[in-house]
């Protein structure tokens, strides 16, 4: 399916409200399914980052002083632009990262909701004013300054919104580095960013993590760092923040448990939702429910139906509306997932899938068959984040033992629970060590609900009003009506 989305031949960073490059190097943006070059992109380096940070620093006083109602109105304008361009942006992302256009359209709708949510939340995000004897005590929230933000490739529209919306709503200026594997829709967004926001408020520098990313995290004029990606890189960024004593927020990986109780009412609906939890985003999601804990009483029936669902999932071109599973973002990611599958074949029982698939016309794409293993919680495929459509199914009978296993990974981002019993739902939600617990519907993200993780899944919460706290600091102002009586005669 050929779609003309009018991409530019070359994309440059957005610095100080203008498209400009200091670096003379470039890299290719490649169609994940076909291998065709989509565009070239400036390979931003330290000089580009320095210019972007300088522009953000210069713009900060004016933006911080901009009334919150005006900042809110500009965020609504940005949401309007995304809404007007959603079909085109969805196709760009589908080509760039290999996910289906149905999913990437949802990404942009979530992004729109984030811009609108923080446009509203910022209006009521205040400190407090408390009268005290002889005066007043005031706490006021102020923006931090220049924020450095780095995002991954799996959901670029959502990740961009997660970072831009709260930072801008709170009055910060920023420099954003998109992932080199998924820069196009963010660079297209720069058209709107340059038109809507004052020069220097939003700066976008594409490039490699070891170059542009490293320069951004180490820059002395960056007052906060925000990162979404792997735990390994998250630790590096946390150290960079510690070295300069600036706040760091991290949204990292996950290996989420999805727990099925034997009392569920509609088995087929739960089977379908569990399959969705493991394969949405082609499995390339930190939220994915990749460890399915099935109770012994329904294990065989559930697994049989689940296998049937996995085998009916349509693998195909990301831009074909009939496709339900596209390709992984790159050869590197494809080989990584196949290595995990090979490991699973050695110590676990392969139920279905387990191979690379070929899609006519998209032979360059790394399409992986939807894969199910029976395994135990100690296996490599159950313990490590795979980032592909691979599900580990684990049998359970003893509740306390199951909870221990569900919590028995380095991560704690999300979890699912399927039950018709309210006590089971609430008791299990209380005991699971994860930031988001979804009962009877996986990926049930609701605007305003906190999103973030425990343990190795990160620091801080996004997607909610409390996110604005991460992008501001409190200043205490205590006012006395007059100076106190003399102490020294």
Give just the sign of the alpha carbon dihedral 186, 189, 194, 198: negative
Reference 157, options 190, 110, 212; nearest CA is: 110
Query: CA dist 418 to 1, 146, 260, 341, 394, Å?
Result: 38, 43, 5, 27, 15
Reference 197, options 220, 171, 221, 216; nearest CA is: 171
d(CA 234, CA 180): 17
d(CA 474, CA 142): 6
Going along 229-362, which residue ranges are E strands? 248-251, 257-260, 291-295, 349-352, 356-357
Q: Which residues are catalytic?
A: 251, 286
Alpha helix (H) ranges present in 98-251?
101-121, 156-169, 184-196, 214-218, 231-244
Looking only at the bridges linking them, the beta strands covering 248-251 and 173-177 are unpaired
Nearest-Å Rg of the Cα atoms of the chain is 24
Helix (H) or strand (E) segment spanning residue 438: strand 436-439
d(CA 151, CA 155): 9
Looking only at the bridges linking them, the beta strands covering 454-455 and 411-412 are antiparallel
d(CA 321, CA 305): 25
Interior CA angle at 35 toward 33 and 39, to 5°? 110
d(CA 250, CA 327): 27
Do residues 185 and 20 make contact, with C-beta atoms less than 8 angstroms apart?
Answer: no
């Amino acid at each position: 399916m050929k779609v003309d989305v009018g991409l530019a031949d070359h994309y440059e960073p957005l610095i100080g409200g203008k498209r400009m490059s200091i670096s003379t190097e470039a890299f290719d943006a490649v169609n994940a399914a076909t291998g065709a070059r989509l565009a070239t992109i400036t390979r931003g380096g330290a000089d580009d980052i320095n210019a972007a940070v300088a522009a953000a620093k210069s713009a900060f006083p004016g933006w911080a002083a901009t009334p919150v109602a005006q900042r809110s109105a500009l965020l609504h304008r940005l949401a309007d632009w995304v809404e007007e361009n959603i079909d085109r942006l969805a196709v760009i992302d589908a080509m760039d990262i290999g996910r289906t256009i149905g999913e990437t359209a949802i990404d942009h709708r979530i992004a729109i909701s984030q811009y609108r949510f923080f446009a509203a939340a910022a209006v009521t995000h205040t400190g407090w004013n408390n009268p005290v004897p002889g005066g007043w005590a005031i706490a006021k929230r102020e923006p931090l300054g220049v924020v450095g933000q780095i995002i991954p490739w799996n959901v670029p529209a959502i990740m961009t919104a997660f970072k831009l919306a709260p930072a801008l709503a709170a009055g910060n200026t920023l420099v954003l580095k998109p992932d080199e594997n998924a820069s196009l829709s963010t660079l297209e967004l720069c058209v709107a960013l340059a038109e809507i926001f004052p020069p220097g408020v939003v700066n976008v520098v594409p490039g490699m993590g070891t170059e542009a990313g490293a320069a951004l995290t180490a820059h002395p004029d960056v007052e906060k760092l925000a990162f979404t990606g792997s735990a390994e890189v998250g630790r590096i960024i946390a150290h960079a923040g510690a070295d300069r004593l600036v706040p760091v927020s991290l949204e990292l990986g996950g290996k989420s448990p999805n727990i099925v109780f034997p009392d569920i009412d509609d088995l087929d609906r739960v089977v379908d939702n569990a399959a969705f939890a493991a394969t949405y985003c082609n499995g390339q999601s930190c939220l994915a429910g990749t460890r399915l804990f099935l109770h012994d009483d329904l294990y065989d029936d559930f697994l049989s139906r689940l296998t049937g669902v996995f085998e009916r999932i349509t693998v195909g071109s990301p831009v074909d509306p009939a496709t339900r599973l596209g390709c992984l973002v790159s050869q590197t990611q494809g080989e990584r997932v196949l290595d995990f599958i090979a490991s699973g074949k050695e110590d676990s029982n392969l139920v279905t899938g387990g191979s690379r698939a070929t899609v006519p016309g998209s032979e360059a794409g790394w399409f992986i068959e939807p894969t199910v293993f029976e395994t135990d919680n100690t296996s490599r495929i159950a313990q490590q984040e795979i980032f592909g459509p691979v599900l580990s199914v684990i049998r359970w009978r003893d509740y306390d033992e199951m909870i221990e296993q569900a919590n028995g990974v380095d991560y704690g981002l999300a979890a699912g629970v399927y039950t018709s019993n309210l006590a089971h739902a609430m008791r299990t939600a209380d005991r699971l060590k994860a930031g988001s617990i979804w009962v009877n519907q996986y990926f049930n993200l609701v605007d305003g609900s906190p999103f973030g993780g425990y343990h190795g899944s990160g620091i801080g919460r996004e997607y909610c009003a409390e996110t604005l706290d991460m992008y501001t600091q409190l200043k205490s102002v205590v006012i006395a009506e007059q100076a106190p009586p003399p102490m020294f005669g």
